[in-house]
Chain A
């Protein structure tokens, strides 16, 4: 289990002057579920395409399943399963036809393919729909077939690029359950990209946060959130936000206050012990003549981590988070 599934060293990809992936060092262990979290355009898909041998890096190296992605692409392709953004299917074929065709491209015999189709029917909850043309499928079913196609040849490493983008909450939960089962029961290494914090939080053993092509933070979801503090105190103060920030920065360290950050008209205060910090914070603001409009105590999220390292929210430009 300690073997490495994916190793990149200073991997870089430029498109002209635009640097999509700017020197990322990444290590994913065998059997691990690694979540790559970042907003749209952060470089997630480009990195996935580099690792899946669809793109060549313009700098650095990458090894997937022990093989170099540039020099041994076929060896890499034999060992990985890939489901890219937008379920890439053929509406004119049935699910079974697509699966059997995919099996042929991976050199499986007819008997092996039959066996795999039967296994995947069990594993991926898709049922009788497999015999219908793909054009009749719902979005959720397409994603599940997409997943089944990526698994036809029993890959050791599975790449999922935004596997649940555009899915309704129920379909999303089904896909999560299936990905988790693949990882836990079959030991498949999973590299998934997502712009959903909940997804990274719920699925990933380890999360890498990418922003503008750079890996800006990495760790287990727990570690990352603890780096913010045990709790977050969100104080809504309207237009007095700068004033309030200065006030809180001067507070005694004994109150357990960590970082204070501005987020619009709110302050995000990282604290060790939320319950103990509420009174000193409220009191200090009151003494400074600042009206507190709202005060909430919550646990840190991966979005807070993202905000800490980048200065903006992941979900700024996103409308369909669950």
Chain B
């Protein structure tokens, strides 16, 4: 009890909270915001399911000619990519910048990098959560993982890391421009990544310029890794290439994003 009184009598004074606590604080706030603006995530829930149903319905029979026996299993990774690519807190970040809340954070002693990393932690949690309904739909339609439960976890991890790797682009735009319209148009980046690849057919079945571009699109290798977990079993090469593809995109987008953060928080 005596310590209790002592604490009560001491005037409260500020001290740096430390990097990890700052990171957690930013992430907690971001995660708290998500259910309060459901309009921001509903498209990310609906679009992948829509495309999944349409693609399977339209192309399921055609695909058998290209050697894909189970087109539902083939399309689940595509739906996951659609669900997680481009999901970020970048719009909320722009609102903070234009509304002045970002400045309020900058006058606290918090670590500057946690401003962005905290949001990314929240994004990682969100994209993994967004992958779940797609997987549930797949299971309901009879899709089975050749790699079992461990494969499902690796699958979610790869999807989460890909989603995270991609967030750097919208964040870079948000921090550079502070402009909501610019951030909204960053979803355009999603199209070449998501469509100029093996979205509909396996790589062998692609021809001409699309085949060439698909060979350089990191999503091609990511899809191959995800598909291998469902359709083939543990394939070290596919997984390794998938991770490498995520890493290449992640390094590029994070460099852009953290440079933009540096620019935004510089006192120039």
Contacts of B25 in A (CB 8 A): 101, 104-105
Contacts of B268 in A (CB 8 A): 55-56
- Which of A106-114, A216-224, A293-301 has 4 or more CB atoms under 8 Å from chain B? A106-114
Contacts of B13 in A (CB 8 A): 78, 153-154
Contacts of B16 in A (CB 8 A): 74, 78, 107
Encoded as 1 (CB less than 8 Å from any B CB) or 0, chain A from 66 to 87 comes to: 0000000010011110101111
- Give min CB distance, A79 to chain B, whole Å: 7
- Given contact pairs A52-B107, A56-B267, A92-B37, A78 touches B14 in the complex (Cβ within 8 A): yes
A112 adjacent to B101 (CB under 8 Å) = no
Encoded as 1 (CB less than 8 Å from any B CB) or 0, chain A from 295 to 313 comes to: 0000000000000000000
- A72–B105 Cα distance when bound, in Å, is 17
A115 adjacent to B17 (CB under 8 Å) = no
A90 adjacent to B96 (CB under 8 Å) = yes
Other-chain residue from B37, B100, B108, B267 in contact with A106 (beta carbon distance below 8 A)? B108
- Give min CB distance, A164 to chain B, whole Å: 16
- Which of B4-12, B47-55, B166-174, B232-240 has 4 or more CB atoms under 8 Å from chain A? B4-12
Contacts of B29 in A (CB 8 A): 90, 93, 97, 101
- Given contact pairs A86-B99, A111-B7, A106 touches B14 in the complex (Cβ within 8 A): yes
Encoded as 1 (CB less than 8 Å from any A CB) or 0, chain B from 104 to 125 comes to: 1111111000000000000000
- Interface residues of B toward A: which range? 20 to 34
Other-chain residue from A80, A86, A107, A154 in contact with B17 (beta carbon distance below 8 A)? A107
- A215–B105 Cα distance when bound, in Å, is 29
B17 adjacent to A104 (CB under 8 Å) = yes
A88 adjacent to B104 (CB under 8 Å) = yes
Other-chain residue from B101, B103, B108, B110 in contact with A90 (beta carbon distance below 8 A)? B101
- A53–B104 Cα distance when bound, in Å, is 11
* Nearest B residue (CB) for A133: B36
Contacts of A112 in B (CB 8 A): 7, 12
B100 adjacent to A55 (CB under 8 Å) = no
A54 adjacent to B107 (CB under 8 Å) = yes
- A74–B33 Cα distance when bound, in Å, is 28
- A90–B89 Cα distance when bound, in Å, is 14
A256 at the interface (CB under 8 A from B): no
- Given contact pairs A82-B107, A84-B100, A154-B13, A92 touches B33 in the complex (Cβ within 8 A): yes
- Given contact pairs A74-B109, A88-B101, A89-B101, A108 touches B32 in the complex (Cβ within 8 A): no
Q: By CB atoms of chain B within 10 A, which of A53, A87, A104, A153 has the most? A: A104
Other-chain residue from A54, A74, A92, A108 in contact with B36 (beta carbon distance below 8 A)? A92
Other-chain residue from A77, A85, A115 in contact with B12 (beta carbon distance below 8 A)? A115
B43 at the interface (CB under 8 A from A): no
Contacts of B267 in A (CB 8 A): 53-56
B21 at the interface (CB under 8 A from A): yes
A84 adjacent to B104 (CB under 8 Å) = yes
Other-chain residue from A86, A102, A104, A149 in contact with B21 (beta carbon distance below 8 A)? A104
Contacts of B21 in A (CB 8 A): 104, 107
A116 at the interface (CB under 8 A from B): yes
B192 at the interface (CB under 8 A from A): no
Encoded as 1 (CB less than 8 Å from any A CB) or 0, chain B from 42 to 86 comes to: 000000000000000000000000000000000000000000000
* Nearest B residue (CB) for A111: B7
Contacts of A107 in B (CB 8 A): 14-18, 21, 109
* Nearest A residue (CB) for B10: A112
Contacts of A149 in B (CB 8 A): 104
Other-chain residue from A80, A82, A85, A154 in contact with B11 (beta carbon distance below 8 A)? A154
Contacts of A84 in B (CB 8 A): 100, 103-104
B33 adjacent to A77 (CB under 8 Å) = no
Other-chain residue from A53, A77, A88, A101 in contact with B100 (beta carbon distance below 8 A)? A88
- A45–B119 Cα distance when bound, in Å, is 29
- Give min CB distance, A90 to chain B, whole Å: 6
A155 at the interface (CB under 8 A from B): yes
Known: A56-B267, A82-B107, A92-B32. 9 other contacts (CB 8 A): A55-B267, A56-B268, A77-B108, A80-B107, A84-B100, A88-B100, A93-B33, A107-B16, A116-B12
Interface positions of B (Cβ within 8 A of A): 7-8, 11-18, 21-22, 25, 28-29, 32-33, 36-37, 96, 99-101, 103-110, 267-268
Complex A-B: 11 CB contacts under 8 Å: A56-B267, A56-B268, A77-B109, A78-B13, A78-B14, A78-B109, A90-B33, A105-B108, A106-B15, A115-B12, A153-B14
